[in-house]
Amino acid sequence: MIELLGDEDVAVMEIDGFAHPLSAVYRRRTLPHVEDLLAHDRLRPVFLFDLVRTRRVTPAEMSDVDPQLLTLRNLNTPEDYREALAIAGLGDGT
């Protein structure tokens, strides 16, 4: 993702129109825009992507490092947790 950033401000994966802002790369120069959004209660990361130069990364571009997109998996429920442990080969997590 860092390599894909190039000269732009943000590199973020986008799948089916959904951006994944938590596994993205941001340049520090985006910080004033972030502060400005927060000051106006505009809390969604996608607002930032419209303000700065954003490199939308496709799953195909990540296929060499993460073909199954495991880096984007959610882990919100006990079921997600069990699945993540199984994928990591850790069984019951101990």
Partner 1 sequence: MVNRNQGSGTRALIDRLLQGVRPAGYAVQPRNHHAVAAAIVQHRADWGVTLDTIARNAGLGFLPLREERYDFVVPRSRAHRPAVLAVQETADRAVHARGVGAHGHEGADVTAGGIVLCGGRSRRMGSPKALLPFGGETMLQRVVRLLGTVVSPIAVVGAPLQSLPDLSADVIVTFDDREGRGPLRGSARGTHRASRQRRDRVRHELRCPALRSGLLAEDDRAPRR
* Interface residues toward partner 1, by CB under 8 A: 1-3, 5, 15-16, 18, 20-28, 30-31, 34-35, 37-38, 43-45, 48, 66, 69-78, 80-81, 84-85, 87-90, 93-94
Asked whether 82 and 38 are in contact (CB, 8 A), the reply is: no
CA quadruple 11, 13, 17, 19: dihedral positive or negative?
A: negative
Residue 77 C-beta: closest distance to partner 1, Å: 5
Residue 71 C-beta: closest distance to partner 1, Å: 5
3-state secondary structure 30-70: HHHHHHHHHHCCCCCHHHHHHHCCEEEECHHHHCCCCCCCH
Q: Which residue has the tokens 């997600």?
A: 80
Residue 68 C-beta: closest distance to partner 1, Å: 8
Residue 82 C-beta: closest distance to partner 1, Å: 11
